[in-house]
Amino acid sequence: MNILVVGSGGREHAIVWKIAKSRRVKKIYCAPGNPGIAQLAECVDIKADDISGLRDLAIREKIDLTIVGPEVPLTLGIVDSFEDKGLKVFGPLKKAAEIEGSKIFAKNLMQKYGIPTGGYKVFKDSREAKEYIKEHSYPLVVKADGLAAGKGVIICKTKEDALDAIKLIMEKKVFGRAGDRVIIEEFLKGEEASFLAITDGKTVIPLPPCQDHKAVFDGDRGPNTGGMGAYSPTPIITPKLKEDIMDNIMVPTIKAMGKEGRPYKGVLYAGLMITGNGPMVLEFNCRFGDPETQPIMMRLKNDLVDVLLSAVEGKLNKIKLKCDNKFALCVVMAAKGYPGGYEKGKEIKGIDDASRLNDIVVFHACTALNDSKLVTAGGRVLGVTAMGVGVKRAINKAYEAVSRIKWEGVHYRKDIGEKAIR
């Protein structure tokens, strides 16, 4: 088979790495890809949101299956566009991707179908929003409705914070049209977990639960990022809790989408808060998580193409997932300053040395080649991922590999995985 992976981050590198092990694959393409992916696939310089360009590529290269990494092409309708041409593609249709594309749509769906989530109110007028927060107790959460690259959520400790958040989103429009409407939401206390499942719209198969680390600094301090590290399994999701999440969140959500005339296929990713009152949904994503996919792919024993193709063909009931019992842990190495401003073009050294360690894969998230030198090209640069028997060994191994990689101004969290020990 010829496979096309759309995207260019650590998530896509992990997907390509896993697909490269498939016995069914003849050739892998990735658009646009990155220098790490280029070691396993032919990278084609087409942007992930250039839907007609990607579709032409899929037709030209006789692609048998396309896997879409990021949310933007999904919410723009890449799956609709490919299916119109009879192309097989893993991911939800545009109207199903709205579960991530509009937080208000997702919240209303959850409320209608009794899926556990925090209380909320929707505003399209900033004056009314400002009026509402005067009466509210704190903390509370202000969210832009649309896509904002993970930055559209502001936790407000005081009324002043909330006023600023509303001004920023609705008046200054820092997230553009994504801020036309906001949600003001109850603040939920607990521990977060990422719960991903693959579905063909009928069968829902959970992937191994993960723990992400959103904040930029150790001890969950500092601003939120796309994710500074992830591990799987996460002890917070016990087998009983996993069943509860499947029965009360994942399966009812897929059924609800069907009832709403938005049948869902692809990955459904629930960002959960495990509260004293059980798991509650913070948000849904219509795609694989980044960096969660890196540890998941390292643990998955199935041929990924079998699994994803079965989902596309509506035959997921034939699949049984098998996972390695070992612990997998990804440490994101980022540029100094991320998630704010940061410098690019710093030469990266030591990846070969780190990759020589057993059970280590260094996934590229945002790198580039400059005169045949590998340099940093974004905020999250690498995802160093290790497997080990037990969490402590995985942590030690991952940080041993991290210590071999250097560039000027590198930043990474030193405490990825520590929650699993506690």
* Chain contacts with ligand AMP (rule: CB under 6 A): 118, 141, 150, 153, 155, 185-188, 192, 214, 224, 271, 282-283
Residue 173 CA to chain centroid, in angstroms?
25
Q: What is the residue-wise DSSP string for 207-243? A: PPPBEE--EEEGGGEEEE-S-SEEEES-TTS-HHHHH
- Please choose which of ligand GLY, ligand AMP, none residue 285 contacts, taking the beta carbon within 5 to 8 angstroms, the exact cut-off set by kind: ligand GLY
- Please choose which of ligand GLY, ligand AMP, none residue 289 contacts, taking the beta carbon within 5 to 8 angstroms, the exact cut-off set by kind: ligand GLY
| Buried b or exposed e, range 324-363, using 16+ CB within 10 angstroms | eebbbbbbbbbbbebbeebeeebebeebeebeebebbbbb
Degrees, nearest 5: CA angle 35-36-40: 105
- Please choose which of ligand AMP, ligand GLY, none residue 118 contacts, taking the beta carbon within 5 to 8 angstroms, the exact cut-off set by kind: ligand AMP
Q: What is the residue-wise DSSP string for 26-56? A: SEEEEEE--TTGGGTSEE----TT-HHHHHH
Residues 6+ apart with CB under 8 A from 214: 192, 220, 224, 225, 227, 228
Binding site for ligand GLY (CB under 6 A): 150, 212, 226-227, 285, 289-290, 292
Degrees, nearest 5: CA angle 382-211-113: 125
- What's the closest the beta carbon of residue 193 comes to ligand GLY, in angstroms? 11
- Please choose which of ligand AMP, ligand GLY, none residue 188 contacts, taking the beta carbon within 5 to 8 angstroms, the exact cut-off set by kind: ligand AMP
- Please choose which of ligand AMP, ligand GLY, none residue 226 contacts, taking the beta carbon within 5 to 8 angstroms, the exact cut-off set by kind: ligand GLY
- Please choose which of ligand GLY, ligand AMP, none residue 290 contacts, taking the beta carbon within 5 to 8 angstroms, the exact cut-off set by kind: ligand GLY
Strand 120-123 with 153-156, pairing: unpaired
- What's the closest the beta carbon of residue 155 comes to ligand AMP, in angstroms? 6
Is the Cβ of residue 139 or residue 150 nearer to ligand GLY in the bound state? 150
- What's the closest the beta carbon of residue 64 comes to ligand AMP, in angstroms? 34
- What's the closest the beta carbon of residue 283 comes to ligand AMP, in angstroms? 3
Is the Cβ of residue 55 or residue 287 nearer to ligand GLY in the bound state? 287
Is the Cβ of residue 8 or residue 285 nearer to ligand GLY in the bound state? 285
Is the Cβ of residue 61 or residue 220 nearer to ligand AMP in the bound state? 220
Residue nearest ligand GLY, CB atom distance = 227
Sheet containing 89-90, strands listed edge to edge, beginning at the edge strand earlier in sequence: 42-43, 27-32, 2-7, 65-68, 89-90
